[in-house]
Amino acid sequence: MDILEGELEAFTGFDKEIRESALPLMFESLVGVDWTLLHLSPVYYGFGIPHGNGEPVIVVPGFLGSDIYLYELYLWLGRIGYKPYMSNIGWNADCLNSLSEKLLETIGIAKNETGQKVNLIGHSLGGVLSRSAATQKRDSIASVITLASPFRGVSSHPKVLELSHRIRTRIFKNTDKTDFPHCYTGHCDCSAVSALQNFLPKGLKQTAIYTKSDGIVDWKKCISRFSDNNFEVTGTHIGLVYNFQVYKLIAERLASQN
């Protein structure tokens, strides 16, 4: 088993428990630095990086986000030669199974329109949804790139967990969840959450990008068991979608599978 040596004592797969973690939430106020450095970088303008050839790429938003804040990444992917798609999952504050079904529908559309397997780029919880979708739709996915995505289990700042609890309360208030009493937890046995307990298909290219200054989730929950898939950058959790180091990695990782 290939893990970051000295950083993680044991890889235990998907942790179903929700855990609090003391994280530097105040660092997230530096997201503007990430955005500024991106626009000063040649990478943003397509220089010094490999380009695509019309391959489909779907961008998936994180917790409490929508496709709107990924629009800059979406446009950049188009500029460097890919066929970008928004996830069309709506506001990422709902039952994961419902969100997953919407993402699977978008994957089907992208594959049918391009005739190619689809690449997924998910930020935070969007990366968790992407890995779940890749396991459910094995024959349709070429690669999954996660940006600060806790796909090994939820370990977050208490303020984030408080917001998550409010979302779960709203879900149960507005929806009959008799069949899924553990909805919006790691113990739910819906298709979306159950898929997270399985490894991604063999041959599917994985990339896990993370930052140790993450103020939202524990970075150790955001890494693959294979160190070759893991890439550390400097920056904020929120700012990874505006991070020039991340954009460069995305371009290189997408191109390396061709």
What are the residue ranges spanned by the domains of the chain? 15-255
122 beta partners: 60, 146
At 119 the pLDDT is 98
Which pTM does this prediction carry? Answer: 0.90
Q: Which of 120-124, 145-149, 171-175 has the lowest mean pLDDT?
A: 171-175
> Could you tell me the sign of the dihedral formed by the alpha carbons of 129, 135, 140, 141, in that order?
positive
Superfamily of domain 15-255: Alpha/Beta hydrolase fold, catalytic domain (3.40.50.1820)
Between CA 28 and CA 239 the distance in angstroms is 8
141 pLDDT band (50/70/90 cuts)?
very high
What pLDDT score does 145 carry? 98
* Residue written as token pair 């819906």: 190
Q: Which two tokens stand for residue 93?
A: 């504050």
Q: List % helix, strand, coil for the chain (3-state, nearest 5).
A: 45, 15, 40
- 144, 86, 146, 139: which is closest to 116 by C-alpha? 139
